[in-house]
Amino acid sequence: MELISPIHGKIQYKKEEVITFKKGIPGCEEYKTYVIKEIEESPFKILQSVQNNELAFIIISPFYVIEDYEIKLSGEIIKNIKIENQKDVMIYSIVNVSSKVENITTNLRAPLVLNIKEKFGEQLIVDKDVYKIKHPLM
């Protein structure tokens, strides 16, 4: 399958790569399906909406930003995205891009929790004050 992003160009993906956010992502609740694509030689990835080719997020592993990043998953999230094994879980945070490198931040307070086996995801709000919504990357 293929979609054309006005920013990222042609994106090839397979049906089995599609991740479903049953609740959507806050602010974009109407769009439920996404694919993750690598950005060559970079810790960043693209989370591209399959339903809206103009909607994409830059994401990064929060462990790249804070080595000992730690969250607790509620029973509700475990149930919602059908987690049975912790090795099937991937955590990403959304990057806030800026034209000035020193202003680029990432949202460590609201990570994306993905079940890469079942292909479900949900955004979690973390109650730890040490994690900021706009954590500097540089």
Count how many domains the chain has.
1
Q: CB-based burial of residue 17 (10 Å sphere; 0-12 exposed, 13-18 middle, 19+ buried)?
A: middle
137 φψ region: left (φ > 0), alpha (ψ -120 to 50), beta (else)? alpha
Cβ distance 24 to 32 under 8 Å?
A: yes
79 closest CA partner among 37, 22, 39, 30: 22
Q: Which domain holds residue 84?
A: 2-136
Query: What is the per-residue pLDDT for 96?
Result: 95
H or E segment to which residue 138 belongs = none
pLDDT at position 129: 85
Question: Which CATH number goes with the domain that contains 117?
Answer: 2.30.290.10
Query: How far is the C-alpha of 84 from the C-alpha of 117, rounded, in Å?
Result: 10
> For the segment 18-74, what is each residue's pLDDT rounded down to a tens digit?
999 999 999 999 999 999 999 999 999 999 999 999 999 999 999 999 999 999 999
- In angstroms, the CA 88 to CA 83 distance is 7
pTM for this prediction: 0.93
pLDDT in tens, 12-22: 999 999 999 99
